[in-house]
Amino acid sequence: MGPGRAVVGLVVLSAVLLAVGCGKENVAESNEPQTTTLRRGVEVEVAPLLTISSGGSKVGERIPLVVTKDVLDEEGRVALPAGTIAWAEVTRSRGATTFTALANQPARLEIRFDYAEGPDGVAVPLCADAAAPEKPIELTRADSSRPKARQGQSDLLANPKVQETLQAYLQLMENGEAPKVQMDQELRQALLNELGTAPPSKESMDALETLLRRAKAGDVSNLAPSEVLLAVAAAQQVVGLLDSAGDRLAGMLKGANIRIWAGTPLKAFVAHDTTLPLAKPKGPEKKAG
């Protein structure tokens, strides 16, 4: 073999080795986990998984939350998927009584957002104000306000069966105890016509009861995001029903305390820039036992 052919052979061999090396490098790069960064101030929509109340919730109590809407990074990729569990802590809680009213000490309720449980266990710090991350959020009755019922609703809300149902749903939202009442189709339709909403389906109520019971016990691990979001939607539907009932519920409530119902939308923000793995594409979910 002549010198020319030897040179050509070496060039070809070098090209092959180079190609193989690059291929291995590309495979290695493709196997590396992708990461993203959520910037400080990115909005995170959350909702509590249990009812928080002034006087009823204790200072230092940890409150489980759920992210209710996908949080996207700067490139539009999902960084925190809806259904992600998050946490807050009660920092102030003072109930309202006749005596506190006379002493001009109204109910007070404050919480501090803590973090969301990001992919692979990365904690994404949350806050109520990105400019003052340590500042708690003061919750008021306006955060869980009830509009006054229209005059045309009086007859419906005077129905003992409706009152029994409303009280049962109120008990569910406050204590996590499932209502023992059932509404017939006629009353469901009447509520829909007069109040603009109706009680959730049995499936949704079962999911809500399970979620409230587990949240009250502090056990929110291994919850399927779809089940959490179904329960939160049911909670929001129940709260809408209670809200629409207006003043009829006033007699069922204790004084002028503040109640933030499970499922009430709250707005949090990423407290500081946080790098985390990209959320994995959603696949079949395994239901918690």
- Please name the residues in contact with 50: beta carbons below 8 A apart, sequence gap of 6 or more: 63, 64, 176, 212, 215, 216, 262
pLDDT at 99: 54
Main-chain dihedrals φ then ψ at residue 64, nearest 5 degrees: -75, 140
End-to-end CA distance of the chain: 73
Q: Which residue has the tokens 């200072």?
A: 59
Helix segments in the chain, DSSP class H: 3-31, 98-102, 154-158, 160-175, 185-195, 202-216, 225-245
Q: Report the 10 Å Cβ neighbour count for 72.
A: 14
Q: Is the pTM of this model over 0.85?
A: no
Domain segments of the chain as ranges: 35-277
Q: Which residue type does 172 have?
A: L
Q: Which residue type does 95 have?
A: G
pLDDT at 229: 87
pLDDT digit of tens for each residue in the chain (289 aa)?
A: 555 554 445 444 454 444 445 554 454 445 566 999 999 999 999 999 988 999 889 999 999 999 999 999 999 999 999 999 999 999 999 887 655 555 567 889 999 999 999 999 999 999 999 999 999 999 987 776 444 444 445 566 667 777 777 777 777 777 777 666 666 677 777 777 666 666 777 788 888 888 888 888 888 877 888 888 888 888 887 877 777 665 455 444 445 788 888 888 999 999 999 999 987 766 555 554 4
